[in-house]
A and B are shown apart, each in its own frame.
Chain A
Amino acid sequence: MSNDFSRRQITKSLAVFGAASAFGSFTRPSFAQNQPIRLGLIAPLSGSQEVIGRYQLAGATIAVNQINQAGGVLGRKIELVTRDDKAAPAAGVAAAKDLAGNGVNLMFGVLSSGVALAIAPTLQADKSVLVVSAAAANELTHDQFSPNVFRTADHAYSRQRALAKLVAADYPAVSDWTAINPQTAIGTSNWDSFVDGMLQFYPELNKKPVTITDAIWAKFGATDYKNEIVQLMRSKSEGLYCGVYGGDAVTMFGQAAAYGLTKKFKALVDPGSEFIIAQAMGKNTPPGLWSGFHWFYGAYKGHKINDDLYDAYVKATGDKHPAGYVGEAHTSVLAYASAIQKAGGTDTDKVISALEGLEFDSCKGIRKIRKEDHQAICDINFVQFGPDDSEQGWKITGHKIIKDEGLSEEPTPGQPLKFLYNKR
């Protein structure tokens, strides 16, 4: 057999190969375009905070289903990839690294501030983005700022100052406040932010000074609060900020019943237990308790995203009282969808650029993510509870939407938060 190839034969072969390749690229779409967009949800899916993690998963799943039913993003479906952080920093970092290692660079969720603060420093090296749906620590957008972290939820500073504004307006006669707080970073952040708000708004609205009595600090997850309750009963304060939240608040209020704690204080507030206290305590719910919410569905009836989310959640779970964490996880997915659309893809740097300054609609209206510190500015919701004779034993006696106008601080990424009024 002859191995001599004429130039003509080679040229012909090259032409055939070239034509085949060009034809192939028309008939066979590029691999990436058919692949779903993978978003990684990091949430406590087991352990002490599993109840919250399940809310986050529900909200995220609903958002993904809604977006996919509407055609996806850039013609691609969204796929939700979940990882359990067990509300523990080490497990959270492992979850983030695992997602990054599996090619999932866009992550969201995270309930615990400790977890968020642990994950933040690892993101740049892994070229990942984290959109925080719940963790409220002020440090995330200040001294622990990472350019790869965004927060679509409200944060401790804005929410607790909003709570202070609410009580200053609604309880003008209550001028002396104290607190029982857990000894955690978020417990300190919340209380400091509330005090800052009280020192500004109470005198502004009521033309008289406010007294902030030293808070009582309890071990996080304590089984017994009697010593702390006795100290509260001895206090001269008339307003109580109950910084212990969730199941710990239920334990505290349950043990406090014998002492008459809720009768002593004229105003009772908590930073964010949402429905937990009322649902657990039923007819023993402290009357008049105001609780901070990430999102309260009842405040946005008539707003399509809110109504669709509520209906989908009730249909999926049968639960008529979705916690705010449902709404926030839903919102984080919507934020990503908008950003990916704007960026034209899922490249980390392009998505970061798209998220900065992003304005988008959500279950509680329009939110805008500040370019400087990646903190979203949004409504802040509060709900008031009381006991009831119905079978469920509790009822909602009021709710408020507080607009974030002058509540959030000036963005100072990389710098510690400076309280304007709380110099304690």
Chain B
Amino acid sequence: MLALLFTPLFNGLFTAMVVFLFATGLTLVFGILRILNFAHGGFFMIGAYLAFSLTRLFASDASTFAYLLISILAGIAVGLCGLVVERLVFRPLQHVDEAYSLIATYALLLISEGAVKAIWGVSFHSMMTPAALSGAVIVDDLVIPLFAIFIIGLGIVCYLLMEWILQHTATGKLMRSVASDPWMAGMLGINVPRFYSWIVIIGFFLAGLAGGLLLPNQTLSPNLASVFVVQAFGVLIVGGMGNIRGTFIASVLLCVIDSYGSIIFTEVPGIFFYVAMAAMLLARPQGLIAGARL
């Protein structure tokens, strides 16, 4: 009975945190720069591949410490890629029509997929969870994998950290002010271009970090870039277009509804994410948290 009621909840929360961790960097870049980064999935994938290779070369996939450290290193490497992308792609396109940056980020996505194929090939790879996270908590007939508890916890911590930074720190105030009025922020002495660079680096870092952290959950292939993209854009839009709190709430709502829907209506798995998304957009077309930037 416990399993019947709570398994979809935990599985839905797990998927929600996976989508949120993937979408955080995307939301940050869109919230401040108003760039819909189609390449976000590509850099998530690069982060995952880097983490895979680093683990194979230097560490054991059984070590939790190695898993976390390598995920951070993968994030840093992808963040540095973000610096290059910001200088060569985003900055030159800042003052032109948005369509150009959409096309540019799509081109980046194709380049990242091509690079992955050229370096790592097209075969599938996988990595198991570290030993300390590979078991499960069993309560009566309810089985919750430790890795799921870890990711749920990590997603919540990530959200709370972002909320705290954005709402209660000077850096957060700076981010919100640049997001809402970059011209005025510039007039008040903030180096907006440098600020944008940092945001892109952080956004890409978050993509690479998510790639490393979620590696044990997914099969590695050049298709990984597109695996969460639709859901990520879905929660971004339902959340209110560039709002971290909205993205978090949307992730939880859409993924938990989808999880219960798939259990109840087993003939149509996966459809309830889109049903819920459509219903929420019809009810609140402006998004769950409208008007707020970040």
Residue-wise interface mask of A (274-305) relative to B, using a CB-CB cutoff of 8 A (1 in contact, 0 not): 00100111001000000000000000000000
**B73-81, B98-106, B201-209, B260-268 - the one binding chain A:** B260-268
Complex-state Cα separation, A70 to B66, whole angstroms = 55
Q: Enumerate chain A residues within 8 angstroms of B122, measured Cβ to Cβ.
A: 50-51, 54
Q: Are A224 and B11 in contact (CB under 8 A)?
A: yes
Instruction: Tell me which residues across on chain B come within 8 A of A258, comparing CB atoms.
Output: 129, 134-136, 145-148
A258: nearest chain-B partner, CB-CB: B145
- Name the A residues within 8 Å of B126 (CB-CB): 250-251, 254, 280-281, 284
Docked CA distance A418–B58 (Å) = 56
A325 to chain B, nearest CB (A): 13
Q: Which of B14, B263, B270 has the most CB of A within 10 A?
A: B270
**Do A257 and B15 contact each other (CB < 8 Å), given the known contacts A183-B269, A217-B266, A276-B124?**
no
Residues of B within 8 A of A51 (CB): 122-124, 221
Q: Which chain B residue has the least Cβ–Cβ distance from A234?
A: B3
A246 in the interface (beta carbon within 8 A): yes
Interface size class of A (residues with CB under 8 A): 20 to 34
Contact between chains at A222 and B145 (CB < 8 Å): no
Residues of B within 8 A of A183 (CB): 269
Among B34-42, B86-94, B222-230, B276-284, the one that faces the other chain is B222-230
Q: Choose among B11, B124, B129, B267 the residue that contacts A230 (Cβ–Cβ < 8 A).
A: B11
Q: How far is the CA of A47 from the CA of B117 in the complex (A)?
A: 11
- Do A226 and B128 touch across chains, with their CB atoms under 8 A apart? no
Whether A219 sits at the interface, judged by CB under 8 Å, is: yes
User: A234–B3 Cα gap in the complex (Å)?
Assistant: 10
Q: What residue in chain A is nearest B123 (Cβ atoms)?
A: A51
Cβ of B149 to closest chain A Cβ, rounded Å: 10
* B11 and A226 contact, CB distance less than 8 A: yes
- Cβ of B243 < 8 Å from any Cβ of A? no
Closest to A282 in B: B126
Is B64 in contact with chain A by the CB < 8 A criterion? no
Let me know if B162 is at the binding interface, CB within 8 A: no
B143 at the interface (CB under 8 A from A): yes
Tell whether A65 is near chain B: CB-to-CB under 8 Å.
no
- Count chain B residues whose beta carbon lies closer than 8 angstroms to a beta carbon of A: 41
The B218-277 residues at the A interface (CB cut-off 8 A) are 218-223, 227-228, 259, 262-263, 266-267, 269-270
Against A, the Cβ 8 Å flags (1 = close, 0 = not) of B132-150 are 0011100001010111100
Alpha-carbon separation in the docked complex, A234 to B122 (Å): 35
Neighbour of A247 across the interface among B124, B147, B270, CB < 8 A: B124
Task: Tell me, yes or no, whether B47 is within 8 Å of chain A by CB.
Answer: no
From A218, A247, A257, A280, name the one whose CB has the most chain B CB atoms within 10 angstroms.
Answer: A247
| Contact (Cβ within 8 A) A259 B143 | yes
- Which residue in B11, B117, B219, B228 is a CB contact (below 8 Å) of A227? B11
Given A258-B145, A280-B125: A224 and B18 interface contact (C-beta under 8 Å): yes
Q: Which residues of B contact A250 (CB under 8 A)?
A: 124, 126, 219
Determine if A246 and B124 form an interchain contact, defined as CB atoms under 8 angstroms apart: yes
CA distance A50 to B123 in the complex (A): 9
Set of chain B residues within 8 Å of A247, measured between Cβ atoms? 124, 219, 221, 223
Add 18 more A-B contacts to A222-B270, A254-B128 (CB < 8 A): A50-B122, A217-B267, A217-B269, A222-B269, A223-B15, A223-B227, A223-B228, A227-B11, A230-B3, A233-B143, A234-B141, A250-B124, A251-B218, A257-B128, A258-B134, A280-B125, A280-B126, A284-B128
Could you pull out 8 A-B pairs where Cβ atoms are within 8 angstroms?
A224-B11, A233-B143, A234-B3, A251-B218, A257-B129, A258-B148, A259-B145, A276-B124
Q: Name A's B-contacting residues (CB within 8 A).
A: 47-48, 50-51, 54, 183, 216-219, 222-224, 226-228, 230, 233-234, 246-248, 250-251, 254-255, 257-259, 276, 279-281, 284
B residues with a Cβ closer than 8 A to A are 3, 7-8, 11, 14-15, 18, 117, 122-126, 128-129, 134-136, 141, 143, 145-148, 216-223, 227-228, 259, 262-263, 266-267, 269-270
